[in-house]
Homo-oligomer: A and B are copies of this chain.
Amino acid sequence: MRQALREIEVETRGRGLVEITGRAADFVGAQGMANGLLTLFCRHTSASLLIQENADPDVRADLETFFSRIAPEGAGLYIHDVEGPDDMPAHIRAALTQTQLAVPVAGGRMLLGTWQGVYLYEHRRAPSRRRVALHLMGA
């Protein structure tokens, strides 16, 4: 048993889901481990991780609508507003989704279901660069 660690940077274009399935798969494939556990960790509190449907882009649009409704921006809604009206909603969205995901690996590949993709979820309005740590432990 051994482990491998890498940090990747994900460029975002403001609010929305950015698929990183391919980059995670590349990392896993490059380590030459048949079986193991991949952990992805988002090093931010206004972006997060999510496994979601990778087929119909409407799903991502509807998710965005849902989170905008449940954690709206708005004057007077939050005490914490010094970093802009989209910052506190971003923290709430991050709390409701995941900072970290773990995916079992078999035959050198993540054990994702057919329709599952791995996404970084940017919650701020502005484009950004987000750091995600990838950790693989296996044999």
Contacts and interface: CB of A to CB of B under 8 A. Distances in A.
Interface string A75-117: 0001110100000100110111111111110100001110110
B111 A133 contact: yes
B99 A39 contact: no
A79 B58 contact: yes
Copies of this protein in the assembly total 3
B99 A100 contact: no
A58 B92 CA distance: 12
Contact of A35 (B5, B78, B102): B5
Given A63-B92, A139-B3, A45 B116 contact: yes
B101 A99 contact: yes
